[in-house]
Amino acid sequence: MKASRPGGRFGIPFERDSILSGITEDLRRTVGQEVEWWRWDSEDTEVDDVYDVGSVAGGRVWHQGIIIPCINVTVYQGVTAQDERGFYNTDVLRVTLNMEDVERYLSTMPATPDDYLRDRVVFRNQVYRPTHFYPRGQITDQYTLFTLDAAQVNPEEMINDNQFLKYAN
């Protein structure tokens, strides 16, 4: 059990810490899953002047992926669009994280989620890109959970992303 903080044993900081450690012990460690998170590297990336794809010289680059423990990870099967351009299907990944892990691995996400829109998340050998962020379980001005949705990156979209070619096959 964590030591009491100012405000007494039943103060907001104590209660939030108790919730976060309870989530870790009861959910994340017991039934949780993991994702591999790749942060976008804007400094080393070279993008084509016309198209938003990697240039021939260097291409789009992400920092080496890190394993992040999750409370829950679910794949929602996408709607299949059949039209004159052909068959196209994109799944949605929903990831729920303990705020304790967000603060440890993705510390600026709650304040600046748009900075994470070019990242990549790998789950079960499928690549996804974050699209929506949902802080949850608010206690005063802090949260206890963080959920995000990510859209599947289909193989033809990874053709110039050397770090993800193994997932494109």
Per residue in 93-134, pLDDT (tens digit) is: 999 998 889 889 999 998 899 999 999 999 999 999 999 999
* Sequential DSSP letters for the chain: -PPP-TT-TTSHHHHHHHHHHHHIIIIIHHH-EEEEEE-B-TTT-EE-SSSSSEEEEEE--BPPPEEEEESEEEEEPPPEEEETTEEEE--EEEEEEEHHHHHHHSTTTTT-GGGGTT-EEEETTEEEEEEEEEEES-BTTB-SEEEEEEEE--GGGGTT-GGGHHHH-
Give the domain ranges of the chain: 33-168
pLDDT above 70: residue 165: yes
Q: What's the chain's average pLDDT?
A: 81
